[in-house]
Every structure is written in structure tokens, then in C-alpha cells.
Amino acid sequence: MNLANWCIKNNRTAIALFLIVALGGIMTFVNIKKDEDPDFTIRLATVITQFPGATPQRVEELVTDKLEEKSARSATSKSLNPSP
């Protein structure tokens, strides 16, 4: 006998079990602890700098170098890997 046949033959029992499970799920959802701003760690960040019309050297001087300096001074940065 499979589950579908059992539920058809014992429909009141199946409905009662379904309601118990559904009510338990609703109660758990309502009572579960929720954080408004949960803690999470950003493990990797990729920054792409663009400056339309400028040479790569100019973009590096005006944008990339300044971003690298600020990132290197950040207390949470562990490593910085600039790529050409």
C-alpha cells in the first residue's frame, strides 16, 4: 500500500496529520529569532575601474592607485592583489 492509497482510505487521519505539521511550521516560523541586520563576512571583493577616453596609465594614476591606498589602510583587508 502506498502513501496516496493510505491517505485516500484514511482521509481524516491524513488531514489531521497535515494540519498538525502545517501548524507546527507556522508556529516555528512566527517564533524563530530574526536579526534585523545579521552579521556576515565579505570574503572577496572585485573592483574594476574605468575611465572612458583615458589611457590605462592615467586611470591607474587617478583612480586605481587611490583605491589601492584606501584599501590597504583598511583594518579588515588582509591582502590586496592588483592586476594590470
Write out the three cell numbers for 27. 508556529
> pLDDT (tens digit, 9 = 90+) per residue, 1-41?
799 999 999 999 999 999 999 999 999 998 888 777 777 77
Q: For residue 75, name the pLDDT band (cuts at 50, 70, 90).
A: low
pLDDT reported for residue 11: 92
Whether 64 and 82 have beta carbons less than 8 Å apart is answered as: yes
pLDDT reported for residue 82: 67
Backbone angles phi, psi at 44, to 5 degrees: -150, 140
Whether 64 and 49 have beta carbons less than 8 Å apart is answered as: yes
> pLDDT (tens digit, 9 = 90+) per residue, 33-54?
877 777 777 777 777 877 888 8
**Domain coordinates of the chain in residue numbers?**
1-32, 45-75
